[in-house]
């Protein structure tokens, strides 16, 4: 490391020495002084530091110089100016000339006092060239390369003003000469703020599209493994749902202005430092991120063409800064706990519910002859033999042996276990993050190296995740017109996962669902050391029902996930002539994902005790290449006409491969490999390429009238010949009203801009070769004598030579405004986004021998409004308070489907469906089912309402609304014709608010997020409520159940049964719940110790903090989390196997509440 530092220092000193010998050639009449400074910077590389406020006093410059040394040129330029300058290193400092010292005095002059201090950035980096002046007094001083300053005055107390280009001005009241430490914050809300857009940056005041940005300040010190978790609720129009709490943050769903595809992906495109990177948020540590910008409207995303229809997330990483080497350490440790448990019944309540459910089902079996008071002998004699649905454990004999306990005897009940299965599987889990970075630069070279290690133990036992990240970047200005750079990012992730929820078709149970489904009367283990469950312990409640021990599943099933990858890019930027630049970039990315599973023999899984092992391993890998060639040209004519042009050509290629293996019956449980018989293996390979031409023109007249136009042509290998190319244009315009002369006297408005845009972008997020048909194999009797010969048959999917891009067209209008000296900043947008040529799988004629064909037939619309508001409520020398608020609404509607606009019912792996329907005129994938109208209270109610099975429906059972019949009108019968749309997952609005308080060196941040008006199909609730099956655990919700006409409960909870009644297991409005919530997402209290540390320690910043994530959620939702989403149990809305169905909860991994402590250290 020491040798590396010496080499870098030597190289930088050489570059610096060459820069100091540079000369300037420039001529002009009455040129603005700031333009001259910009020319100095361009030709020499010198940074000209000044206060933009005092520069308003500058006079125009007339100068003519050819190959003139810098110092001489500056002397000539600064003649007749009210400023003075100094050259220190590669920085020219501009200061206002001090006022002449008055002569003579009246009375005794107090001795002068010297005030000293230091100015730092938020990251603790010293700021050189900060102007420091006394309020109300001309002149001042500036900070040196260590950020230090010294100012002398005869005033016993004063107010110091600190100003620096790109940073908000700060005022500090000083009453003694102790060390003064000041932190300057970037000017983030003004129109001069730099905003990252596609292939470049522009000033916020010149932006004509809808963009939203979060800074590193808004992301830091969050106990999260994924930056998306920290972004949630901070950007209007960006819906980030944490669908589950699996370690590593893998279940996060992002939607920018809604869902834009029916069968394709609606995930945004992620771009890191200009390079598209699908696995971006696994490859980057949160602390490596400088800012994240989301391009929301199509006029902004069209520059990315075929990949921009669902929004673009631009991630900019931190870069090295000129100055001595700086080491930063960020470390935190936290404890996670389940944020919210589902209240479940204990032993006594559960046993009473079990008795009621068996009695109700026994009476339902024969209402005339069966009575709830019948004993087991009577029940077995009248048809209940061999069924636990009706037999009550009474300590007597039964078809499976003898019951261990008599649940009707309080003395026996007292001996029974009372296991809280949630307490058995959930735990307090550790979360640690540690990062160290080295950054700096000398002369024209800057560098940064960082490494991160994070480990997150899951709140479910035996689940864990760890991640390693490494990043290095170096940039060097070899000549005044040539800059090169290189960046390398690597990551390695691995963890042990636990299955979650349930997949009924495949029999799969997750640990979390098993914990809720096991009755509390089972012990964790039997006296012989085996795990207790229904299969092993029929003497407790009987036999034949599913019920798997969650601890056995958590301890003895091994699911591992391993991922690693790297991304490297190098670039060279050449300024061919002033204002004309060419940039070449080459990027290569590699990603490898591996998932393995091993289950030893003897595990009671899916209701069967396996006699042999089960194992599998699946790996996929992707290697991609990207070459970009970009040309930019910036030109200003007559000081008013500002042009910026961009042209580019890019080419991308990706190679994909996969292999999966599976086996059973390995000879031992101790070697967790894919071994045994039979062994199966499947391999796959694929490739795709993308070729693109792009262009952009940005023009503004005198910073008032703004115009931006972009075009992109994309050619993709994923489409058929003749349809591979797509054209994606956009145009947007803006008007900076605040810069008009008629606004000069409107002092309270600082900035006011209206803007609008239109554009078209595409979506190529489909599989490779989807336009081609597939083939199958079969055996045919051929030859003489005939023998079975293998042949090729048409597959299920027909070929479509006309298949082309999905496209999205959008109109956006909005405004940006700042008032009251930028104390209040508002941005608002209205948009209409139409996606068309959407891919749908539709039936083909049976004569073709194939069943479906993928076609461009769908159409869908999203429209909505967004509002962002930032306020500086209190700005004082000691106490400050600021607020950021965002809110957005999106309305989704399907406009067209396949032939005849026939509704689509997604295939479901959950019994009781269909649960969803996609139909014209409705949002995508609305909830589908029966409309529950109430619960029969008594026989009078049975006579009053329509029964599902007349004569057999019982009090305590649901009754339903008669919606329709075969002829489209209600017919007095409850059947499949009465299914209807009963809700959807789309909220009416989502919102977020962050309040930031500071008091001296203390700071407090409180972030709230909310969603209102959305609903969830709570299938977990359905599983727990519809029937106990003689063994399942029961939620306390059922304490308010119907028990009798005299005791109907709260009128909202049906009677319990073991056999079920009517349609209670089918999709209905009863299982739909409001998922509105208000969440205290994060509270962080921090204390900056920097000002209290002696300078000899060399510490630039020391900050400690305490943080709580997911402190509390206010909601009426009855599941673990109102954001939970287990849509992976469904096919896509068109049945092609996608994952756009959203809004079902069959128990995702619960989220955690995290308490953490951490520190930020820079030296």
Q: Residue 107: what pLDDT?
A: 45
Q: Residue 1027: what pLDDT?
A: 59
Kindly state the percentage of the chain with pLDDT values over 70: 91
As a whole number, mean pLDDT of residues 831-849 equals: 85
Nearest Cα residue to 118 out of 76, 75, 149, 162: 149
853-871 pLDDT tens trace: 888 899 999 999 999 999 9
As a whole number, mean pLDDT of residues 1125-1135 equals: 47
In this model, does residue 791 exceed pLDDT 80?
Answer: no
In this model, does residue 7 exceed pLDDT 60?
Answer: no
Return left, alpha or beta for 1040; rule: phi > 0 is left, psi -120 to 50 is alpha, else beta. Answer: alpha
Burial label for 1078, CB within 10 Å (0-12, 13-18, 19+), is middle
Q: Name, in order, each residue with C-beta under 8 angstroms of 434's C-beta and a sequence gap of 6 or more.
A: 329, 330, 331, 452, 453, 454
Task: Name the range with the highest mean pLDDT among 256-260, 483-487, 667-671.
Answer: 483-487
Nearest Cα residue to 241 out of 809, 1075, 1085, 808: 1075
Q: Residue 18: what pLDDT?
A: 36
Q: Residue 1031: what pLDDT?
A: 65
Q: Are 118 and 149 in contact (CB under 8 A)?
A: yes
In this model, does residue 807 exceed pLDDT 70?
Answer: yes
750-769 pLDDT tens trace: 999 999 999 999 888 887 88
Length of the chain: 1163
As a whole number, mean pLDDT of residues 695-699 equals: 96
Q: Name, in order, each residue with C-beta under 8 angstroms of 530's C-beta and a sequence gap of 6 or more.
A: 536
The single-letter DSSP state of residue 179 is -
Task: Name the range with the highest mean pLDDT among 39-53, 108-122, 1089-1103.
Answer: 1089-1103
519-530 pLDDT tens trace: 999 999 999 999
Q: Are 282 and 400 in contact (CB under 8 A)?
A: no
Q: Residue 177: what pLDDT?
A: 61
186-197 pLDDT tens trace: 664 455 567 788
Structure tokens at 246: 């699996």
Kindly state the percentage of the chain with pLDDT values over 90: 48
In this model, does residue 456 exceed pLDDT 90?
Answer: yes
Name which of 263-267, 368-372, 689-693, 1159-1163 the model is least confident about: 263-267
**Distance separating alpha carbons of residues 10 and 14, to the nearest angstrom:** 6
Q: Cα(first)–Cα(last) distance of the chain, in Å?
A: 17
In this model, does residue 396 exceed pLDDT 90?
Answer: no
Confidence of residue 386 (pLDDT cuts 50, 70, 90): low
Q: Name, in order, each residue with C-beta under 8 angstroms of 1107's C-beta and a sequence gap of 6 or more.
A: 221, 222, 223, 332, 334, 1082, 1083, 1084, 1085, 1154, 1155, 1156, 1157, 1158
Give just the sign of the alpha carbon dihedral 668, 669, 670, 675: positive
Confidence of residue 581 (pLDDT cuts 50, 70, 90): very high
Strands (DSSP E) along 113-272, which ranges? 113-120, 131-134, 141-142, 148-153, 158-164, 167-174, 180-183, 194-197, 200-203, 211-215, 238-242, 252-256, 269-272
In this model, does residue 694 exceed pLDDT 90?
Answer: yes
Confidence of residue 1155 (pLDDT cuts 50, 70, 90): very high
Average pLDDT along the chain: 86
Structure tokens at 73: 């040129």
Q: Residue 565: what pLDDT?
A: 92
Confidence of residue 6 (pLDDT cuts 50, 70, 90): very low
**Distance separating alpha carbons of residues 765 and 143, to the nearest angstrom:** 52
As a whole number, mean pLDDT of residues 915-935 equals: 94
Q: Are 555 and 539 in contact (CB under 8 A)?
A: no
Nearest Cα residue to 813 out of 739, 864, 880: 864
- Burial letters for 64-78: b for 16+ Cβ neighbours within 10 Å, e otherwise? ebeebebeebbeebb
991-1008 pLDDT tens trace: 999 999 999 899 999 999
**Distance separating alpha carbons of residues 358 and 361, to the nearest angstrom:** 5
Q: Residue 187: what pLDDT?
A: 61
Q: Are 86 and 93 in contact (CB under 8 A)?
A: yes
Q: Are 993 and 1005 in contact (CB under 8 A)?
A: no
In this model, does residue 651 exceed pLDDT 50?
Answer: yes
**Distance separating alpha carbons of residues 906 and 1067, to the nearest angstrom:** 14
Distance of CA 441 to the CA centre of its chain: 33
Confidence of residue 123 (pLDDT cuts 50, 70, 90): low
For tokens 């080497």, what's the residue?
325
As a whole number, mean pLDDT of residues 408-416 equals: 94
Q: Residue 4: what pLDDT?
A: 36
**Distance separating alpha carbons of residues 953 and 1054, to the nearest angstrom:** 13
**Distance separating alpha carbons of residues 15 and 10, to the nearest angstrom:** 9
As a whole number, mean pLDDT of residues 367-374 equals: 91
Q: Are 1140 and 925 in contact (CB under 8 A)?
A: yes
As a whole number, mean pLDDT of residues 601-614 equals: 67
Q: Residue 1028: what pLDDT?
A: 52
227-259 pLDDT tens trace: 888 888 889 999 988 878 888 876 788 899 999
Domains of the chain listed by start with CATH number: 2-96 (3.55.50.30), 113-183 (2.60.40.1120), 934-978 (no CATH)
In this model, does residue 551 exceed pLDDT 90?
Answer: yes
Q: Residue 961: what pLDDT?
A: 96
1025-1071 pLDDT tens trace: 875 555 688 999 999 999 999 999 999 999 998 888 889 889 999 99
421-443 pLDDT tens trace: 999 999 999 999 999 999 998 87
**Distance separating alpha carbons of residues 1145 and 867, to the nearest angstrom:** 30
H or E stretch at 421: helix 421-425
As a whole number, mean pLDDT of residues 364-386 equals: 86
Omega into 678 within 30° of 0, i.e. cis? yes
Name which of 199-213, 816-830, 997-1011 the model is least confident about: 199-213
Q: Residue 15: what pLDDT?
A: 34
């Amino acid at each position: 490391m020491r040798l590396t530092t010496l080499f870098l220092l030597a190289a930088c000193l050489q570059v610096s020495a060459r820069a100091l010998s540079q000369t300037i050639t420039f001529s002009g009449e009455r040129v603005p002084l700031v333009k001259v400074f910009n020319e100095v910077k361009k030709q020499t590389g010198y940074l000209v530091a000044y206060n933009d406020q005092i520069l308003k006093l500058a006079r125009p410059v007339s100068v003519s110089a050819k190959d003139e040394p810098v110092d001489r040129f500056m002397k000539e330029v600064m003649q007749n100016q009210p400023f003075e300058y100094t050259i220190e290193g590669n920085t020219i400092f501009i200061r206002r000339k001090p006022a002449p010292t008055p002569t003579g005095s009246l009375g005794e002059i107090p001795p002068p006092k010297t005030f000293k201090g230091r100015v730092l950035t938020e990251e603790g980096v010293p700021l050189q060239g900060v102007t420091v002046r006394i309020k109300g007094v001309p002149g001042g001083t500036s900070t040196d390369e260590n950020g230090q300053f010294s100012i002398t005055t005869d005033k016993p107390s004063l107010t110091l003003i600190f100003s620096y280009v790109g940073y908000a001005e700060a005022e500090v009241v000083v009453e003694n000469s102790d060390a003064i430490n000041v932190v300057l914050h970037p000017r983030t809300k003004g129109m001069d703020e730099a905003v990252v857009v596609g292939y470049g940056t522009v000033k916020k005041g010149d932006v004509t599209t809808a963009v939203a940005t979060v800074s590193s300040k808004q992301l830091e010190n969050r106990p999260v493994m994924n930056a998306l978790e920290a972004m949630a609720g901070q950007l209007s129009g960006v819906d980030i749902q944490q669908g589950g709490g699996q370690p590593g943050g893998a279940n996060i769903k992002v939607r920018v202005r809604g869902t834009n595809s029916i069968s394709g992906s609606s995930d945004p495109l992620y771009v890191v430092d200009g390079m598209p990177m699908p696995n971006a948020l696994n490859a980057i540590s949160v602390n490596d991120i400088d800012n994240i910008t989301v391009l929301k409207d199509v006029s902004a995303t069209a520059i990315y063409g075929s990949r921009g229809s669902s929004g673009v997330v631009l991630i900019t990483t931190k870069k090295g800064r000129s100055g001595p080497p700086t080491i930063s350490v960020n470390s935190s440790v936290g404890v996670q706990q389940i944020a919210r448990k589902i209240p479940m019944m204990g032993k006594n309540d559960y046993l009473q519910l079990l008795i009621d459910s068996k009695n109700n089902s026994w009476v339902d079996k024969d209402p005339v002859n069966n009575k709830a008071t019948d004993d087991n002998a009577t029940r077995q004699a009248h048809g209940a033999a061999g069924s636990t649905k009706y037999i009550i454990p009474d300590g007597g004999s039964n078809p499976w042996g003898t019951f261990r306990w008599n649940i009707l005897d309080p003395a026996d009940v007292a001996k029974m276990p009372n296991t809280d299965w949630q307490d058995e599987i959930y735990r307090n889990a550790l979360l640690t993050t540690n990062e160290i970075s080295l950054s700096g630069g000398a002369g024209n070279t800057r560098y940064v190296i960082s490494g991160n290690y994070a480990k997150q133990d899951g709140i479910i036992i035996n689940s864990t995740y760890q991640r390693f990240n490494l990043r290095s970047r170096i940039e060097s200005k070899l000549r005044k017109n040539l800059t090169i750079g290189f960046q390398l990012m690597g990551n390695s992730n691995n963890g042990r996962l636990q299955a979650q929820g349930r997949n009924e078709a495949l029999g799969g149970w997750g640990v979390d669902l098993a914990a809720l489904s096991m009755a509390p009367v089972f012990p964790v283990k039997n006296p012989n050391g085996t795990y207790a469950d229904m299969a092993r312990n029929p003497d407790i409640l009987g036999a034949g029902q599913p019920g798997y021990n969650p601890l056995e599943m958590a301890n003895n099933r091994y699911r591992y996930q391993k991922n690693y990858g790297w991304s490297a890019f190098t670039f060279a930027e050449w300024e061919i002539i002033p204002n004309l630049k060419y940039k070449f970039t080459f990027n290569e990315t590699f990603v490898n994902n591996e998932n393995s599973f091993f289950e030893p023999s003897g595990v009671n899984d899916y209701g069967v005790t396996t006699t042999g092992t089960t194992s599998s391993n699946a790996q996929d890998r992707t290697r991609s290449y990207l070459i970009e060639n970009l040309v930019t040209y910036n030109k200003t004519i007559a000081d008013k006409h500002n042009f910026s042009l961009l042209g580019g050509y890019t080419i991308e290629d990706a190679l994909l491969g996969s292999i999966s293996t599976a086996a059973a019956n390995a000879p031992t449980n101790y070697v967790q490999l894919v071994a045994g018989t039979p062994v199966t293996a499947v391999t796959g390979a694929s490739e795709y390429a993308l070729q693109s031409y792009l262009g952009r023109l940005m023009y503004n007249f005198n910073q008032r009238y703004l115009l931006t136009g972009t075009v992109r042509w994309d050619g993709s290998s994923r489409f058929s010949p003749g349809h591979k190319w797509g054209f994606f244009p956009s145009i947007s315009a803006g008007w900076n009203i605040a810069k008009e002369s008629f606004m000069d006297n409107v002092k309270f408005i600082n900035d006011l801009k209206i803007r609008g845009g239109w554009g078209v972008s595409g979506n190529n997020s489909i599989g490779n070769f989807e336009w081609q048909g597939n083939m199958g194999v079969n055996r045919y009797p051929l030859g003489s004598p005939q023998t079975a010969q293998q042949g090729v048959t048409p597959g299920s999917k027909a070929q479509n030579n006309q298949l082309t891009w999905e496209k999205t067209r959008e109109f956006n209008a909005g405004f940006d405004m700042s008032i009251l000296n930028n104390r209040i900043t508002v941005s608002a947008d209205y948009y209409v986004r139409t996606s068309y040529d959407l891919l749908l799988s539709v039936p083909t004629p049976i004569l073709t021998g194939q069943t479906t064909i993928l076609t461009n037939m769908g159409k869908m619309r999203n429209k909505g409004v967004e509002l962002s508001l930032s306020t500086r409520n209190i700005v004082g020398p000691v106490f400050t308070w600021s607020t950021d608020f965002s809110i957005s609404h999106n309305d989704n509607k399907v406009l067209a489907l396949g032939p005849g606009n026939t509704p689509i019912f997604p295939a479901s792996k959950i019994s009781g469906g269909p649960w969803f329907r996609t139909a014209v005129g409705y949002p995508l994938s609305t909830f589908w089912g029966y409309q529950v109208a109430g619960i029969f209270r008594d026989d009078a109610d049975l006579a009053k309402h329509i029964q599902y099975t007349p004569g057999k429906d019982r009090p305590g059972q649901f009754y339903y609304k008669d919606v329709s019949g075969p002829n489209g009108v209600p017919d007095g019968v409850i059947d499949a014709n009465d299914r209807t749309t009963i809700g959807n997952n789309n909220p009416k609005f989502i919102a977020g608010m962050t309040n930031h308080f500071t008091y001296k060196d203390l700071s407090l941040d409180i972030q709230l997020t909310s969603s209102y008006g959305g609903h969830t199909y709570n299938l977990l609730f359905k599983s727990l409520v519809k029937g106990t099956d003689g063994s399942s655990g029961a939620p306390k919700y059922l304490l308010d159940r119907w028990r009798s006409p005299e005791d109907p409960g709260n009128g909202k909870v049906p009677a319990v049964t073991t056999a079920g009644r009517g349609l209670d297991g089918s999709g209905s409005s009863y299982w739909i719940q409001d998922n509105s919530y208000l969440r205290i997402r994060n509270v962080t209290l921090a204390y900056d110790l920097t000002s209290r540390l002696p300078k000899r320690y060399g510490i630039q910043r020391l900050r400690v903090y305490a943080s709580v994530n997911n402190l509390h959620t206010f909601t009426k939702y009855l599941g673990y989390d109102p954001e939970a989403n287990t849509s992976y149990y469904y096919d896509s809305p068109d049945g092609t196997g996608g994952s756009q169905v959203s809004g079902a909860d069959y128990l995702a991994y619960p989220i955690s509440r995290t308490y953490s402590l951490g520190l930020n250290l820079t030296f």
